[in-house]
Amino acid sequence: MFALGGDLPVRRLGYGTAQLTGPGYWGPRGDARDAVAVLRRAVERGVTLIDTADNYGPSVAEELVAKALHPYPEGLVIATKGGVVRTGDSAWHIDGRPERLREMCEASLRRLRLETVDLYQLHRLDPAVPMAEQLGALEELRAEGKIRHIGLDTVSAEQLSAALELTEIASVQNRYNLLDRESEPLLELCEERGIAFLPWFPLGNGALTAHPECARIAAAHGATPGQVALAWLLHRSPVLCPTPGTGTLVHLEENLDAAGVRPTGAELSLLAALA
C-alpha cells in the first residue's frame, strides 16, 4: 500500500485507461462493453487506483470510467490529467493557460461524475506559461474543493523541486521501466519527499517481453516477462505505483498477478543491471 498525498491509501499496482482507446489514443478501442468489463474486473481484483486522462479518446476513457464504476466504491481513487489538447490521433497540443486548465478540470469532473477528483495531474508543463501560473490555477481549484491532490507528468527532478517551492505535489508520472531509467534522479527525489511515482510505459511498451534475461527469470517462476518487469518495479522502490493498461481481461489478469511474483535477491540484482 502507498498513502497517496499522505491520506489516500492505494494498492501500488493500479490500472491505467489509455489502452481503452483506439490507435494513437484516439477514439474508442472497440465495443464499450469490453472496456466496462475490464474496468469492473480491475476493481473486483482489488485495484484502488484508476489512472485516466481527459485527452485519452479524447474524453472516451473518462466516460468509460464513469460508465463502468460510478457510483464509485469506497476507497477507489480516481486520477486524471489535463493540460493537453488533442486535434487528431497524432496531434497533441500543450495548453497550460490557467483559464484552460480550469475548463479542462471542470469538464473532467462532469465526465467522471465527481465533485472532487482525488488526483489531478498536469499532463505537461507548458513552456509558454510560467509554472507559478499553471500550478496557481490548480491550487485555486483545490481551494474550491474540485481537486484533492496535484500531480505532474513528465518532469525533471529540477522541475519537481521548483514545483515543490510553489505547492504540494502528491505524484509524478514519467517514463520508467526495467530498461529505461532516465528518470532515476526524479525517483530518488520522490523517495526523499514521499511522493508517488506512477511510471508510464511500465512494460516498455512491449519491449520487455522479448528480453532474454527477463524471459529466463520469468520461466523460473512460471511467470511472464511482463509480470517479472512489474514485480521488479514493485521491489525497486516503495513509492513506485505502476498503473499498466490493457483492453483485454486476459492481459489484465496477467498484469495484476504480477504482485504475486517474487524474484530472488540475485534475480533482482540481475534485472537491475539490465538498464
Phi, psi of 54 (to 5 degrees): -70, -25
Length of the chain: 275
Q: Which residues are catalytic?
A: 56
